[in-house]
Each structure stands twice: as structure tokens, then as C-alpha cells.
Structure 1
Amino acid sequence: MITRALLCAAAAAFVATPALAATPSIDTYRLAPVIENGKVTALSVTITLPADADGETRLRVPQDWGGGEKLWRFIKDPVVTGGTLSRPDEKTWTIKSKPRAPLTVRYRVVSAYDGEPPVDSPNYGQPIVGPDGFYVIGHTVFVTPEGRDDDKARFSWDPAGSGLVFASDLESLGRETGTVNAISESVAVAYKDLTLLQRDAAGAPLRLAVRGKFGFTDAAFADMAAQTITASRAFWGDGKEPFLITLVDQDGPTGWTSYRGTGVGDAFAVISTRNVALNDYKLFLAHEYFHTWNSNRIGGLKDGPEEPLGYWVSEGFTDYYARKLSLRSGFVDLETFVAAWNAALEAYGTSPGRALPNAAIAERFWNDKAVHKLPYQRGALIALLLETRLKTQGGLDPVMLAMRDYAKGRDPAEWDHAAANLLPRIVKARTGVDLTPEIERWVIKGEPIVLPPDAFGGCLTVEGVSRPEFDVGFDADASAKTGVITGVKPDGPAYAAGLRDGMKRLGRQGGKPGDSSVEIAYVVEDAGAQRTIRFKPEGKAMLDFQRVVMPKDLTLEARAACVKAVAG
């Protein structure tokens, strides 16, 4: 422990010795659980850092990140040693002290959730704390000095006698210095039953921290993750740094499947219901690992509310490459590749927000499920069309590599702080193609994108589909909640099949949400007798979208040729 006397002596030496004043300081972050009655009730954070040169140190408190809003609500009881803390508002901390005085900041972090985070939330960008452990993203729990992201920093974990098994990409900062930005761009997880595994991925260590019981072994998940990471590293030709994946399970309603993740530089964090099949993670993992480069290393994203304006590149191009590189490496087969594209094309073509301008998508991204996936879909389509347009000049791949090379070591202010703004500059410089009209039409204005029949090349073709909208013809949510059928429309498909208000709802069979071509069935009790009523949930309106078609019974040679033409 550093005593008050030693701190004062260190401060005096700092002022009196000019040589020491030039020595770069190291900010330190210590994380520990708060244990009460054997349960984790909060996290304790202790930060030591020098004050700013003018004696006024402004601290950046977590605010909005990853869909989590007003994250400062979960930061409690700040105490400062070495200066005087003022809080002019809930989001701002200012410390007045002697210039460059040593400061110590302590506070607690409490959970954002009463229990587990809801499975139907579009994000989990808020602290998950207690009772058996915690799962947090650095952006949501660490206070950082304003304007000092490049300050050197170290990190330490104090289990406080809890017996928790801990994993974080910050562990390396206990052995060597990193930056304050790395403190924010991190994940930390700790539970007594956390399982740790390690694999080699293209010559670099891959660590996995898994908590929960799934329908597959932890080893199988680790092997699959190593395979997809190897494929991305082969594309970029770098990325040999250690990497961490954290996977934590959560409860969900019967029949509900949910998995969500976020990339944080040299790690990505996943939370998932236990019923997700191993193969369902394949493209998801490929997407998340590709974020190691896109967008931070190819131009970045704007900070604050404007960040979603660039998601058509950061998310859409990542979706495109997750499918393409997975097919190229054999991580997924042609059928899986086509199925992923068809799911995206159907969701895009039938989305009520399909024609929204980019500004409206950015404004509603975190709060409106109808637009949440639009940047993914729109960006992937633009990437595909750009690949086709640049085919004679090597396609999109060299553009992505050139963006990385150009952005390395340069100030993002040169291209207005976003990969979406750097992209057209690099395309124009390398190929002479001006993307401005397409970006204006498809992104800024939101004009719907229609693929040509030969967009994929190879053996795949694109065709138009028209079918009735999905409509079960009664209030399915209210009926599921009360157990009694209600809101049956006299002119709807449920009524025509025999479903009536007042029947007791015993269960649902089959069906595919959003797909009116798949028969659905409801088991009901009617006048004391059990019945199963089946019908297609076809509404009155017609929906038009596109889908990818592959020939049946491809020979091995024809399949290989098709994969090569489609994925390179």
C-alpha cells in the first residue's frame, strides 16, 4: 500500500526535479468485485493518474455506448484523493488540484439489470454485475481522463478473496503498458465456473472464456473459432496478436433463440441463449472477428450520435466479408452461404424501413427494431455491387487492403473520421471510379437496392419473389400472454381455418416468423375438446423481394468452380 506520506514525497520530487517531469506517467486501473454475504453486488474501480498540467483534470464518465444509454447512472460513490472533485452535472467530473499532482479516483459500478439482460434487447451495452460474477465492456465501466486516450496505462485484477475465475484482454496490461484507449476498448468477465481454453490461430494465441451449458462442448466452440480467425488473418495478412473470445449463457423463453456480440479491438464478447446450435455461430463469429479491422483499422467511425451513419460500411461490409471469406476458406458450404444471403435479402426486401435515408436510420438505430439491421443489409448489397463493378481491377479486396494501409498511422481527421468517408477516396484513387452518385442514392437518400441477375457470378443467379405478407390474423402476442385466443380478424387466415376468439390457447406448432409460405398450427381447446388448427399466415398485401438460386445436383467439379467464382 502507498501511504499518504509517500504520495506527498513523490509529488514533491516531481515538482523539484525537472528531469522527472519529462518522464511519461502511467495511469493505473484496478478492478475488484464487491462481495456482500457471498454475492457480487458491485465492482470497485481504483484509478491512479497525474493531474493535468493546468491543475484541472476533466474525467470522461461512461455515457452512451453500444445502445446503452446514460451509463453514468451505474457509476456510484466517486471519491478522489489528491484533489477536489466537482460534478456540475451527472455526466461530468472535474478535479481541481495542483498541476500534475498524483490523483486517486475510486468508485463503484452496479448492474444495469434487475437479473439477466432481456433476450429481446438489441444490445447489452450495459454492465452485468452479480450475483455470481460479472460481464462488462470497458466503455461502460471505466472513467477516463479527457483528451488523454494515448496516455500509457496499466491494469490489475484483484479477486478480493472471491474465488472468481477472471478473463480479460486487459490482462496483458499487467505485464506491459498499453493505452487509456485500450482500457476502454476491452471486455472483462469473472465467474467461479468460468472455463478457460486456448488454441493456436495462424500462429497467434486465441483464448476463450466460456460460462454456461450449451448443446456443444467448449472445445468444439474453441476449434471453430480458431478456424474462422485463421481465415480472416489469411485475408488481411496480419493480425498475429493474441485474441480473446468471451461467451456467457443466459436464460430465454421456451423456443427463443438469441445471440449477440460486440467486438472490442483484440477481443469480442458474446452473450447467448443455451439453445443456439454450434453451426449458427459460424458466420456470427466470422463477422465479429472481421471487426478487428473493420472499421477501426480501415478508417474508423465517428464518435457520438453520428456513429451509426457509418454502419453501412462497418457492419454491412463486415457481413459481406464474413460470408465471402467463410465460403472461400471452406468454413461454410455453398448452401449455407446462399441461405445467409437469402435471409438478408428477404429481411431487406420486406423491411418497412427499406427506403429510409441514412440519417433516419442513424437516429432510430438503437430504439427501432424495424431499422436495426438495415445498415447490415444495405452495406452488404453495396459491397457486392462494388465487387462486381471492380471485377476487372481485382474486385473489392484490394480496396479494403488499401484502406487499411492508408489509415495506418494517419489522423482520421484527414477523411472526416469515418471509414465510410475514406472508402470513396480510396476507390477513386485506385480505380478512377466515382462512388459519390451511388452513395447519394443508396445510402444518403435510401433508394432501395435491386441486384442484377448475375450479381454473384458463378452458378448463382438472383431472381425476384412475390408472396403475401406474414399475418396470422389474430393478436398472437396477447393470446400467448393470456392463454386465450383474442383479436381474430373475420377476413384473416386464422378465422378461415376455424380459429375463434375465446378458445383456450394450448400451444403453437411449426411456422417461421415473417414467412407466410410456411404453415403454422395452433393447438386449442374448443368446447372441451382439443383441436389443432393449421393454416398459412398469408395477409392481404403482397411483398416483393429477391433471392439467390443455386442449381440442384451440382457435381463436385461444378461446385468447386462455383465457389471459386463467387468467393475467389
Structure 2
Amino acid sequence: MTARTSRWLPLALLLIPACAALAAEPSAAPVPLEVVLTPKPDADRIGALQVHLHLPAPKVGAGAALLRMPVELVSTPTAAYSAEQIQVRDARGALPLRAVDEAPDPSGKYRNYLATRASVGDVEVDYATPPRKVDADTRNGPLFDLRAQDGGLMGAGVYFMALPPGEAPRQIHLRWDLGALPAGARGVWSVGEGEQRTTAPSDLLRFSYYAVGKMQRVPENDDDVFHFYWMDAPPFDAQLLAQQTGQLYRYMARFFGDDGSAYRAFARRNPYPAGGGTGLGHSFMFGYGPQGQTIAEGPQELLAHEMAHTWPKLDGEEHALTAWYTEGTAEYYSLLLSLRAGVYAKDAFLQAINYRADGYYDNPFRALDNTAAGERFWKDARAQRVPYGRGFMYLVSVDAQLRQHGRQAHSVDDLVLEVLKRQRAGETIGVPEWRAMVVRELGAGAGSDFDAMVAGKLIVPPAPAFGCYRVVPAPHQPFELGFDRMRMGVVRNLLPDSAAARAGVQENDRIVAYTPLEQAMADEHTRMQLTLERDGKPLQVDYLPRSARVDAWRFAADPALAARCSP
């Protein structure tokens, strides 16, 4: 069996202030924050991860927040400690806390831990959590939870870290106490292995990845800018994937003018037949199913997309208004730079860009404007995909126009690199500045085209796309499974007007077996054959997992341009 998998909107976007602070010159000396992470063995596994914080004289008043953490973030639960699960001591002894939850917002809910009296002197904090219990019925989602793997734990700080609130930079000193683990165990943070020091807001600790225990690493050279980690033996060639991904990362870093920044990728096993990945600051974690399932395009494209998130972004506006750029550039450059770096052959590149085109035209929320799509991001995975396809097709369109009519820029590369250059020089470059740039290069019509993209109008790129390809009509029936593809152990969120419902599938049916989704998605004529269990009895359901025909366009090789085709 295999399941559809997902890329998740990068929570590194929430880290933009923290990442910026890494390089910023603070106006006042940052307050120290010492962190010690201690894995607690339980027989032949790690049963819990303990966190110790040392806060030098925080001077927290009675009723003020000493710590803060999410209770749930983008539909993913956290350890969500009670106040009693956190032990706090200061110069006067025990300092009890009181937990108060904030009002939820579309991305989740946070909890504040309030001091019941004013703190005196330095404060010591201790708490611990076991890894989250997951099984074949767990819904796939962002890779934030702390999970057990063979030989250790992997997860994000989002799940297990209650930290001092505020955006002010701190002198973070993180150490691992691995004394209770077998020889050869490692402790890895997105920032580096072992003991690390950096200056950043405490949110950097939260929006980072952690791995502890016995693990594999490629390459073994400590000084390399790219490292890939895994614990369980995956059902794919992890060594080859690590080598190819490292090659691509180095190429990407040079392209974006960032040769020295380190990047870490982590792979972990899921107990359910689905995968996906989430990028955080200069790091990425992806999950794979028992048969190696990641995303339909495979782990290489998943990693390429998330690595591309490291650089392009727009400043200012709320996420829904800039996601077209963040996701669009990640889609665009994950493919284009894979081709230029030699990771992709041209036929694979053409197949990949057509997969993106289909994803854009097939999306039932394609016509929503950016704000309306953003309101649905965390409610419907299809809405979350809108900025991926929209941004990609818009950039393809702008690139084609620049190649023929740009006044100074000769491809979209020039504009994306200009954005980075100006941001590095201290400018704020957001949506208005981007719009002004395309108008400068292509005239007033480019401004109207941008406004139409924001409003959700249909995009059909002009030819030749990428300097090579024709753009041809390709109407077809989009794939529609008919229920939640993120949980392939049981039917959830059945669409009442879908072919699945008409064929007899019911909400809460247990899924025993099914046609591989990649196979069904690749061929319009492949039928979905489900083996279900309802009320303890097996049943078979067969249907064509497609929705109504849509107008669409795809890219095709142009023989007249083949000799000089160089995207």
C-alpha cells in the first residue's frame, strides 16, 4: 500500500524574526539562556527527554509569564505540560506555576505558565516528556512531534519545549547529557551537533529539529556544510539520497550567494503508509512510510523543495499574502536548480514541471484569492496547496516574459536574486516592492497580471516557457480520492458528492488495502480498489477516483528550440 503524502507550509516562515536575529547586531547584551537536554533510557529505548533551563535572574513578577509553549500547532498536538509537570526553583525554593491558555488562532493555541509569586535570583526549570505514541491510524501532518525511532528520538522543539517568551535575542548555550546512552550516541540540533552556542530569540529552540541516539550521518566529515541523518534503515538508498541532496544543496547555496551556511536534513520512519516533510531554520525533516512513501514525486524532490525555502522570502505582509512567493520560489528552484546541478535529466524535469501544472489546474480552490486561500490553509490540505501551484505558474509566466521583453532582467532569476541582494543590504522587500519590480521590467501590464494572480485568476504561461517548451491545452479529470488522504487507515472527511461516496464508501470505514495512490494519480483510467472493514465485515469497493473534467495546460518539448534549450 502507499498513500498520498504532503509537503507542509514551512514553519520556518514563523522563524523569520529568529533567523534574522542570528545575524543582527543587538542593541543590548542578550540575556543568557542555558539548555541541557538529557535522554532517559527505558530498557532498550529512550523513554523520555528531559529539559533543564537555567535562567539568570529573570525578575519575573507575580502573575507574569515565565514560560510559553504551544498546546497545538497546525493540527499537531504537543506535550502540552500541565503547570504541575514543570518544576521551577529559585533562591527562595519552589516556584509554583499557573497555566493559562491563550485564545486559539487559525494556526493553533499557546499556553502561558505564570509565576505565582515574583522570582528571586536565578531560576532553574525542569520538565520531561515521553515521545508521542503513534500508530497506523495516526493522521499524517507536520513533523513537529517527538517520536521514537530505532535507537533514539527525533522531533521538533515545538513539541517538547516550554521556553521564556519574547522576541529579544538570547545567548543560547545548548548541551546534551548523553552519559546514560551507549557509546556512539549523538545529540544533534538544527544548529549543530553536540554543544552549541548561538544568539537568537528563544523561538529558534522551538522551531528547530532535534535527534538523539544512535544514528547514521552522511557525510562523516564534520566540516561539510550539509549533513543527512537517519536512525531506522529506510527502504530506499539513504546514502545515495544524501549524496545527491548534498550536491544540490551546495549548488543552491552558491546560486543564492550563501556558500557557508550549514544545513541538516533528518529522515524518520512513520508507522502509517504516508510521508511528507517540514522545513525549519536551515534544516528539514521528512517522514517515510513502511514502504518508503514520502510524496508522490519522491524524497529527492521533497528535500529539494524544502532546501530551496532557505533563501527566497518576502518581508512584511501576513503569510497568506506572501505564500505564493515562498512556496512558488521553492517549487520553481527545487526543479530548475536540480536540472542545472545535474541531479535531473531534461525528461525528468519536463515530467516534474507538468506535475506542478496539473496540481495548479486541478486544485478546486484555485480561484480563491490569496487571503481566502490563507483562511483555509490549516483546515483543508487542498487549500494549503494553492500558493504552491499559483506561485510556480506565476513565476514561469514572468520568466517567459522577461526572457523576451525584460528591460534589465533577462529571467526571473535576476528578480529573485535582486530581492535577496536588497534584503541583505537592509531593505524591506515585500509585495509592493515585487510588484514595482515587475512593472519596472515589463510595464504596467505586469502590475495588472500580478493583481490578477493575487485575485485567483487563471494563469496560462506564454510560450516558450523556460525558454524551451510549448504550452499546450491538456484538459483532463483531476484525481480525487474522495476522503482524507492524510489518514489512510480509516475513512475520514468523506466528500458526499465524490465517486468514492457514490460507490458505497462510508465515513469511518476501516481501510485494509487499496490501490497505490501514485499509481492511481498517474493514470486517469486506473481504478481505485479498496478493501474495507465495516462492522467487523470485509467489503470491496471499486471506483474511478476522478472529479469533473477541467481545462488545463501542460508543457511540451519544442523541436525548434531543442538545440538551444537551456532553462
- 1:414-470 Cα deviation digits (max 9, x unpaired): 56xxx5465335556787768653343222x22222223433332x11111223465
Task: Tell me the amino acid that sits aligned with residue 71 of structure 1.
Answer: T
Structure 2: runs of 5 or more not aligned: 1-27, 102-110, 505-511, 532-539
Q: Identity over aligned residues, as a percent?
A: 20
Alignment check: 8 A CA contact 1:68 1:124 kept: no
Alignment of structure 1 residues 278-427 onto 2, 5 Å: 280-295=298-313, 299=315, 306-391=318-403, 392=406, 393-408=409-424, 410=426, 419-420=430-431, 423-424=434-435, 427=438
Aligned position for 1:162: 181
Aligned position for 1:12: none
Alignment of structure 1 residues 144-223 onto 2, 5 Å: 144-163=163-182, 164-171=185-192, 174-179=195-200, 180-192=202-214, 194-198=215-219, 204-223=224-243
CA offset at residue 285 of structure 1?
1.9
Q: Which has the higher helix share?
A: 1
Alignment check: 8 A CA contact 2:401 2:462 kept: no
Alignment check: 8 A CA contact 1:228 1:285 kept: no
Aligned position for 2:74: 67
SS at match of 2:462: coil
- 1:38-96 Cα deviation digits (max 9, x unpaired): 54333211111234467466345222786245636257711211274543513112337
CA offset at residue 135 of structure 1?
1.3
CA offset at residue 519 of structure 1?
3.8
Counterpart pick for 1:464 among 463, 473, 476: 473
Cα–Cα, structure 1 residues 69 and 560, in superposed 2: closer, same or farther, change >3 Å?
Answer: same
Matched, 1:128 2:147: yes
- 1:502-547 Cα deviation digits (max 9, x unpaired): xxx99759984346633448699xxxxxxxx999938784322111
Moved more, 267-276 or 125-134: 125-134
Aligned position for 1:544: 551
Alignment check: 8 A CA contact 2:186 2:194 kept: no
SS at match of 2:475: strand
Aligned position for 2:245: 225
Quote the Cα distance in structure 1 between the aligned partners of 2:518 and 2:396: 31
Alignment check: 8 A CA contact 2:60 2:66 kept: no
Aligned position for 1:262: 278
Moved more, 430-439 or 262-271: 430-439
Quote the Cα distance in structure 2 between the aligned partners of 1:510 and 1:94: 48
Alignment check: 8 A CA contact 1:154 1:173 kept: no
Matched, 1:44 2:50: yes
Counterpart pick for 1:517 among 518, 524, 527: 524
Task: Tell me the amino acid that sits aligned with residue 217 of structure 2.
Answer: L
Quote the Cα distance in structure 2 between the aligned partners of 1:28 and 1:429: 49
Alignment check: 8 A CA contact 1:511 1:519 kept: no
Cα–Cα, structure 1 residues 198 and 473, in superposed 2: closer, same or farther, change >3 Å?
Answer: closer
Aligned position for 1:529: none
Alignment length (residue pairs)? 497
TM-score (norm 1): 0.74
Aligned position for 1:30: 36
TM-score (norm 2): 0.74
Quote the Cα distance in structure 2 between the aligned partners of 1:506 and 1:264: 34
Which structure exhibits the higher relative contact order, with contacts defined as CA atoms closer than 8 Å and separated by 6 or more residues? Answer: 2
CA offset at residue 150 of structure 1?
1.0
Matched, 1:81 2:89: yes
Alignment check: 8 A CA contact 1:74 1:112 kept: no
Cα–Cα, structure 1 residues 277 and 137, in superposed 2: closer, same or farther, change >3 Å?
Answer: closer
Quote the Cα distance in structure 2 between the aligned partners of 1:269 and 1:98: 40
Aligned position for 1:561: 564
CA offset at residue 408 of structure 1?
2.8
Cα–Cα, structure 1 residues 544 and 122, in superposed 2: closer, same or farther, change >3 Å?
Answer: farther
- 1:531-566 Cα deviation digits (max 9, x unpaired): xx99993878432211111258x9xxx75621x1xx
Alignment check: 8 A CA contact 1:32 1:159 kept: yes
Instruction: Give 1 or 2 for the bigger CA radius of gyration.
Output: 1
Cα–Cα, structure 1 residues 102 and 463, in superposed 2: closer, same or farther, change >3 Å?
Answer: same
Task: Tell me the amino acid that sits aligned with residue 446 of structure 1.
Answer: G
Alignment check: 8 A CA contact 2:232 2:269 kept: yes
Alignment check: 8 A CA contact 1:111 1:130 kept: no
Matched, 1:103 2:123: yes
Alignment check: 8 A CA contact 1:169 1:188 kept: yes
CA offset at residue 139 of structure 1?
3.2
CA offset at residue 101 of structure 1?
2.9
Quote the Cα distance in structure 2 between the aligned partners of 1:116 and 1:509: 16
Quote the Cα distance in structure 2 between the aligned partners of 1:152 and 1:523: 55
